[in-house]
Amino acid sequence: MRVYGLCMSFGLVQLLDLGVFLLALCAFVDALIRPAPAFVAAGKQTKQIWLLILGACLFVTLIGMGGFLGLLGAVVAVAAIVYLVDVRPAVRAMRPGGPWG
């Protein structure tokens, strides 16, 4: 029974690692397709800074995919969530026909 529990928890950890990777990947791809001036117009960090942050997050998740990401996984998840919940909506609003155009 103990071996079964270990295998189940290892599979769960890998699943969580994959989820964090996909979250960071979605945030990175979204940052890539947004226009750079929209970041500044929305009062957020520049596009280059966000691409650097999210690219570093992707790199960390790729290195840690074989094992447990631990605290680094939490940092990556927080960075990606901040982008997706705070930055993305503000940048999306800065399109032609939006509040400033």
Average pLDDT (73-92) is 93
Query: Confidence band (pLDDT; 50, 70, 90) for 17?
Result: confident
Domain range list for the chain: 2-92
Q: What is the pLDDT of residues 46-80, one digit of tens each?
A: 999 999 999 999 998 888 776 666 778 888 999 99
pLDDT of residue 100: 45
For all residues of the chain together, what is the average pLDDT? 83
Q: Which residue's structure tokens are 């930055």?
A: 87
Query: Confidence band (pLDDT; 50, 70, 90) for 11?
Result: confident
Check residue 70 and give left, alpha or beta (phi > 0: left; psi -120 to 50: alpha): left
Encoded tokens for 50: 């966000």
Amino acid code (one letter) for 55:
G
Average pLDDT (18-35) is 94
